[in-house]
Every structure is written in C-alpha cells, then in structure tokens.
Structure 1
Amino acid sequence: MKTFNWKDIMKRSIFMLKILGLWPPGDTYKFDFYSAYSFVSIAAFTCGHNFFQIINICFIFPDLEVIAATIFVTLPELLVIMKTYYVIQNMQLLKQLMVDINQEHFEPRSLSQVEMIQPSLSFLRKISTVLWSMSAGAVFFSATYPILDGSVKEHRLPRPAWYPYDATVSPLYQITYVYQIFSFTFIAATALTTDTLIAILNLFVGAQCDILCDDLKDIFREDHLNFGRNKFLSCIRHHKEILRFADSSNIFFNRIVFVQFFISTSSIGITMFQLTVTEPLTSEFFLLVSFNIAIVVEIFIYCWFGNEVELKSSAIPTAIFHSNWLKAHMIIKKDLRFFLMRCQRPIKVSALNLFYLSLETFVKILRGSWSYFALLNQATFQK
C-alpha cells in the first residue's frame, strides 16, 4: 500500500504561514531575512492596524452606537495578535507535531482505513471553503464600502482609525486606504490559517481514533498467542501516541480557543445588533452578513472537530468488545481489562480545562451571543 502522507493535508496551511511570516525555516527565528520580513509585516499590518483602531476607540468611547459599529471587527482583529503570538511561542512544538504526524504508527494500514478518513477530510474542505469565502466577502465589502456608498468622495476610510497625520488629504488618504486593505487581508489570512491548522490537528486525532478502533477489531483474528499479543501491544503504543499528540496540540491552541469563544460571543451579538440598524441590501449590510457567518463558522469548526475527537475516542472500548476477544489467551484478557479501564475516559479537547470543544459549547456560545444582542437592543430602545 502506498504511504499516506498526513503532511499533504497541512501543506496549504503551512504555505500560508510561510507567506505570513509565521513559519521560519528552522525551529525558531534567527537573525536572517525571513525574520526581518516577519517582524516588519506583523508589526505593520497586524499590530499597527490594531493600534490605530484602539486609539480611535478611546476618542469615541462615550458613544455606544459608534463603538458598536467599530468594535465588532476590532475585537476579532485584536485576537489575531494573540494567535500570532502563540504560533510564534509554540513554533518548536508545532514543528515537532509536523514531524510526528508522518510517523509509521500514525499511518493507515489499509485502503479501508484511508477511506475511513475521507469523509472528515471532505467535510473539512467544504467548511473551510465556506469560512474562507465568507471572510473574503467581509474583506471585499470592507475595502469597497466607501466606494460603493459614495463616501470615498469625502475621503472616508474603510474602517475608522486614528493616525498621527491628516488621513483625509491626498496622497495620504490613498496610501492609508491601501494600507487598511492590506491589513484586512493580512489579519484575515492569519486568523483563518491558524483556525484551519487547529481544525486539522483535531481532525488528525479523531482519524487516529478511527484507525485504532479498526485495528482493535482485528487483533484476535488469529489464534496464535504471540500474534494477538503483538498486535495488541501495538494498539496500546498507538493509543499512548494519540494521547501524547492530543495533549501537545491542545497546549498550542487551548488559550487561543478560550479567548476566541469569548470574543466570538460578543462579536456575533454586536453584529446582529448592527444588522438591525443598517439599511438592507447595502454594502454595509452585506459586510455584516459575511462577517457574522464567518465568525459563526469559525467557532463551529472548533466545536465540530473537538466534538468528533470526543465521540471517536469514546468508541475505543466498544471496538474492543467487537473484536473476537473470547478467543484470546488469558494473559491478553488481563491486559485487555487494564486497557479498557484506561480508555473509559474519552479524549476531550479543552480551553484551559474550563470548557470543552463540543457542539453543546457551540450552542451555548450562540445563546450568549443572543443575550448580547438583546442587551444592546434593549439599551438602544430605552435610549
């Protein structure tokens, strides 16, 4: 059977990270051209753009409606700084995970196991396409909003921000306009690439649980004692490696997910509120719709694949019972008992061990977003 290369699934994400300055040639950044490129691009487009927007919020702070019109985008953009930081901080860990995924014990051992993985891969491609499409729509309508509504004649920028110069005069206006477009694109690409990478890591853990379950069902097809014992020991080692990989990948993204969920909850609520005060079928309306769908899909990807890890790992004990364990030698049956006890607790992907990535969490986030929306709507109505 041809070797299944897991890294091929991640090559697009890795390629994007290289372009964004988040994937140095070695395990860490060194004093070279790529590090200089990374520093300049991240400082200019991610940190710089967020800094100018935060200063602007300080000036408009008392006005709730104006803040709501600005902060629904600013909060997720601020989160990208955190995502960038943790990608850089955990670079050695990420590089090691990329090495680990192509180890022999993680490879599918039959065509049926390869086919077992395909539905999850197909779903990831489809949901990623939706996420990137909606994000591209949000970036497009953000960039063209002043042009489409005619406010470009008044030298209005795509997003309100403070600059240490007069951005309403030419050519500073045109330069600042292009700068904001590059910043939108850079920040969105960083966020989506990180989200896709996290989804792939969770997909990988879930796929390995499927492969392990398939192997466990076949360990006692032969009556020979050593044959069954060797296959069983191989499954135990595989399970240990799955747990180790899941823990390592969770170390990378648990803080990201924790903050992501809180920011997404408020952003969705604020965006829904903005839709109620925006004229339908305008460029701003389509911007809000695209942005809101992108945020919902973003957290859905986290929760879906985290939920898949829990469901598939909880099927490991059942897979043992589906094997022909009655024919196993008494020595192996004793080992099976201890292994079953160890597998009773499924693998759960957590955010700082405070809550887990699951569909139940996704529903709670949507309910929280609705509460934000209701609060803002009530406050505006009373006003």
Structure 2
Amino acid sequence: MEGIVVYLYSVNAFGLRFVIKVILLPNLVTNKSPIKMVLFQALTNLEDPAHPFLGPTLWGLQKWGMWQPNKGMSHIIYNIIHFLAITFVMTQYVELWYIRSDLEMALRNLSVTMLSTVCVVKAGSFIAWQKHWKYIFDYVSMLEKVQRNKRDDTMNKIIKKYTGYSRSVTYFYWCLVTVTVFTVILAPLVIYLSSIKRREEIRHGTAAYPEIMSSWAPFDKTRGVGYWVLVLIHSLICFYGGGIVANYDSNAVVLITFFSGQLEILKSNCERLFGDGLERISYVEAVRRIRDCHNHHVQLIKYTKILNSLLSPVMFLYVIICSFMFCASAVQLTTEGTTSMQQIWIAEYLIALVAQLFLYCWHSNTVLFMSMTVDEGVYASAWWSQSVRVRRCVLLLGGQLNKTIRFTAGPFTELTVATFVAIIKGSYSYFTLLSKK
C-alpha cells in the first residue's frame, strides 16, 4: 500500500547515521479517521509555499510576535506585550529581593526568574535583529527552491530527510514545552489538593495560597481577588514564555539542521563532480562544477556566521543560567519536606531544561562533524580522470572545504556534546557544594 514517506535523520558525533523511515498510510488522512484527518490538515496549514522548509517555524514566530514582516497595529500590540513581559520579569527580581533570606523560596524564585529572563532576551534580540534573521530566511528559502527545481534525485532525497527530521523535532519540542507550561500552571492546584496539612493552614490563615510563580505585586496577592488576578497574570505569562521558548528554539534548531543537510548535499555533489571517471568532461564544464561547489560552501560559511552571531550572545547567557538552574532544581528536588507532587513538577521542569540545552548542543555538534567531513567528497570523486589543470582546481576546492563551521556560546565555548556534558558535570559540582551541611 502506497503512502507518504517521511525520513527522520540524524548524525552523531561519531559519524553514526540514524535513519527512521515512517510511512503515513492513506487511511491516516481519510474520512475513516476524523481526528487524524483534522491533525493532518492542521499541520498542512502550517506549510508555506514561499518558505517550503521554514513554514511551521515562521508561523510560530509570527503568532508570538517575534517575526514581524508587516508593520501596522499588530506590530504595536506585539511590542506592547513584549514590554509588559519585561516589566513582569522585573517584578520577579523585586520579589527575590524581599525573600532573599529564605533559601528555599529564593531558589524557587530563581529557577523560574532566570528562565523568564532568557525568554525576554530571546524575544528582544530576535526583534532587534529582525533584518539579519530575514537575510537567513530568504537565503534558506531561495536555495531550497533552486535545489528542488533541479530535480536531482540524490539531492531531493537528502532534502526530504532533513525536512522530515526538522518537522519531527519541531512538533516534538512544541509538545514538550506545552506539557511544561501546563505543568507549571497546574502545579499550585496539585499542591493544594495533595496536601491536607497545607489546606488546613490556608483555611486558618497561617499559610498563603500556592503561587504559579514568585513575583511582586502592588496589592495583596495572598488571598481574595488579588490572588486570582495574579493567577491570571501568571498563566498568561506562562503561555507567552512557553511560546517564545518553543518557537525561538525550534527555529534555531531547524536552521542548524538545514545547514547540516546542505553540507551533506555539498559532499554528495563533490563526490559526483566528474561522474564515474569515464564521462568526457570539458575543462570549462569541470571548472564550472568546481566553482559551483566552491560558491555553495562560501555561502554556507557566510550565513552560518550570521546565524552564529545572532545565537551566540543568547546562548552565552543561557549556558550560564542553565548551570545555575540545573543546580537550583536539583537542590529543590532533594530538599527535605518536598512533597511527591512538588518533586514530580521539579523533575519535569528539569527534564525540559536539559532537553532545551541538549537540542542546541547535539545539532551544533552535527554541523561541526559534517563540516569536518565534507572535504572527503572531493577525494571520493573521480579527480584522477581529469587533467593537471583541473586537478589544481580540485586541490583549491579541497582547501576551501577544509574550513569548519562552529556554533558558539559567546567567545568562550562551543556548542557541542562535550560542552553539554561539561555543563551537567559543573552543575552537579555546584549542587554537591550547596548540599553540604
């Protein structure tokens, strides 16, 4: 039975390739399965013919007000929302000042406040550097269209693989962030219902209602109308922050995956430069093919540098904050008196943080690995069948392809799997230090 074929593809640091072939059978999108048909239609609506690779991510960025290609009233409204979010983060730091003497409450505040800080930095930096993001989006879409129109089976196969993989990562990450947002919002209710002692203390006025987040308010936020107003504000902020994180991160990971896939296409083109060695190729045609591969790599280097310049400052802040958040969450998880439901909430929150950082490090590591192996395509070609003049050009191409592509977190560290492991080790060291009695 025929169906739609999707390839989920990845390359790890050791060069092992994982390809999962998923076949979506026709009955998934027929009237026999209404729920699956609605889901399929919803995902199809996210696609954009003008941006065949970036459709879902650009849709998400635009819905959350980061990608603002059109000026108008919506532009003003989105920027007001971003400003209000920054104001809310400031109230979290004000609250931290008031509760600084209580270690448990301070850690709980910091574990969320730091993430809120990263959210507004991501949104603010994206809007401020909108022009540079547009350069990357236009290049990706233009190159994708040109390559699809060539009707090269090998090239199209690679494009389908990394496109399918990007869609899978995007939708999985969106689901993970959605679950995290609802977990954070519903945590106070679960804490209230799961603790009889806490309910008795609240009833007698010796304890306040549990909060979604820790923030300062110019009114009584512990009871009555003030409490419910704060619950509404916190819920809206959670949805705002979740959308910012989900769309910014998925967009970054998808773009990194694109450049990894393009390096694989470039390697394949280099391998096929001169066919099987028996093909008669003129000097002009050989030089044209070499020049195309050279230009392709130069453009990839150029736009990955632009992407890295946009991501690096944000990731530098995030790597520093992540180290502390991992440690703070671990301390809360092992603190005496923490209920089982609180431990579940903290564990889920910690998993989301680890997944967020791992996505960046893993995919950046993949690009680094591909950039280090792309020059192998030149030496796998039938270069030996060409004249000395052409071989000199091939040698120059090999020198160009020897340049590596690296994504960094500030000027001090690269985003690799080794960096991820180092952050986890460092967080554990901090946790050991703080947990000593």
TM-score (norm. length: structure 1): 0.90
Q: 1:43 is matched with which residue?
A: 83
Q: 2:316 is matched with which residue?
A: 258
- CA displacement at 1:113 relative to structure 2: 2.4
Q: Which runs of 5+ in 1 are unaligned?
A: none
Q: Tell me, what secondary structure is at the counterpart of 1:188?
A: helix
Q: 2:389 is matched with which residue?
A: 331
- In structure 1, how many angstroms separate the alpha carbons of the residues matched to 2:162 and 2:327? 30
- In structure 2, how many angstroms separate the alpha carbons of the residues matched to 1:68 and 1:78? 15
**Sequence identity percentage:** 19
Correspondent of 1:93 among 126, 129, 132: 132
Equivalent AA in structure 1 for residue 110 of structure 2: I
Q: 1:207 is matched with which residue?
A: 261
Equivalent AA in structure 2 for residue 61 of structure 1: R
Correspondent of 1:14 among 58, 68, 78: 58
Q: 1:143 is matched with which residue?
A: 185
Contact 1:134–1:293 (CA<8 Å) still a contact in 2? Answer: no
1:124-181 per-position Cα deviation (integer Å, ceiling 9, x unaligned): 4444445433433332222122222226864332122210111234323212101101
- In structure 2, how many angstroms separate the alpha carbons of the residues matched to 1:39 and 1:171? 28
Q: 1:104 to 1:15 in 2, by over 3 A?
A: closer
1:114 paired to 2:156: yes
1:362 paired to 2:420: yes
- In structure 2, how many angstroms separate the alpha carbons of the residues matched to 1:363 and 1:345? 26
Q: 1:194 is matched with which residue?
A: 248
Q: Tell me, what secondary structure is at the counterpart of 1:205?
A: helix
1:25 paired to 2:66: no
Contact 1:6–1:101 (CA<8 Å) still a contact in 2? Answer: no
Q: How many residues align?
A: 371
Higher helix share: 1
Equivalent AA in structure 2 for residue 201 of structure 1: L
Q: 1:104 to 1:36 in 2, by over 3 A?
A: closer
1:180 paired to 2:224: no
Q: Tell me, what secondary structure is at the counterpart of 1:337?
A: helix
Alignment of 1:261-280 (within 5 A): 261-277=319-335
1:234-264 per-position Cα deviation (integer Å, ceiling 9, x unaligned): 1111111111111111111111111111111
- CA displacement at 1:271 relative to structure 2: 0.8
Contact 2:53–2:141 (CA<8 Å) still a contact in 1? Answer: no
Q: 2:430 is matched with which residue?
A: 372
Contact 2:372–2:403 (CA<8 Å) still a contact in 1? Answer: yes
Bigger CA drift: 32-41 or 81-90? 32-41
1:169-224 per-position Cα deviation (integer Å, ceiling 9, x unaligned): 43232121011011011112101211111111111111110000000011112322
- In structure 2, how many angstroms separate the alpha carbons of the residues matched to 1:349 and 1:189? 24
Q: Tell me, what secondary structure is at the counterpart of 1:156?
A: coil
1:320 paired to 2:362: no
TM-score (norm. length: structure 2): 0.79
Q: Tell me, what secondary structure is at the counterpart of 1:149?
A: helix
Contact 1:52–1:163 (CA<8 Å) still a contact in 2? Answer: yes
1:245 paired to 2:314: no
1:259-295 per-position Cα deviation (integer Å, ceiling 9, x unaligned): 1111111111211121112667733222211111111
Q: Tell me, what secondary structure is at the counterpart of 2:90?
A: helix
Q: 2:359 is matched with which residue?
A: 301
Q: 1:120 to 1:373 in 2, by over 3 A?
A: farther
Measured on the aligned residues, the alpha-carbon RMSD in Å equals 2.3
- In structure 2, how many angstroms separate the alpha carbons of the residues matched to 1:23 and 1:125? 19
- CA displacement at 1:119 relative to structure 2: 4.5
- In structure 2, how many angstroms separate the alpha carbons of the residues matched to 1:124 and 1:281? 38
- In structure 2, how many angstroms separate the alpha carbons of the residues matched to 1:292 and 1:123? 25
Q: 1:80 to 1:338 in 2, by over 3 A?
A: same
- In structure 2, how many angstroms separate the alpha carbons of the residues matched to 1:205 and 1:345? 14
- CA displacement at 1:296 relative to structure 2: 0.7
Higher relative contact order (CA 8 A, sep 6+): 1
- CA displacement at 1:49 relative to structure 2: 2.4
Q: 1:171 to 1:124 in 2, by over 3 A?
A: same
- In structure 1, how many angstroms separate the alpha carbons of the residues matched to 2:51 and 2:423? 32
Equivalent AA in structure 1 for residue 310 of structure 2: F
Q: Which runs of 5+ in 2 are unaligned?
A: 1-47, 193-197, 203-207
Equivalent AA in structure 2 for residue 91 of structure 1: Q
- In structure 2, how many angstroms separate the alpha carbons of the residues matched to 1:362 and 1:239? 28
Equivalent AA in structure 1 for residue 258 of structure 2: F
Equivalent AA in structure 2 for residue 138 of structure 1: T
Equivalent AA in structure 1 for residue 280 of structure 2: D
Contact 1:217–1:323 (CA<8 Å) still a contact in 2? Answer: yes
Correspondent of 2:174 among 115, 121, 132: 132
- In structure 1, how many angstroms separate the alpha carbons of the residues matched to 2:332 and 2:215? 19
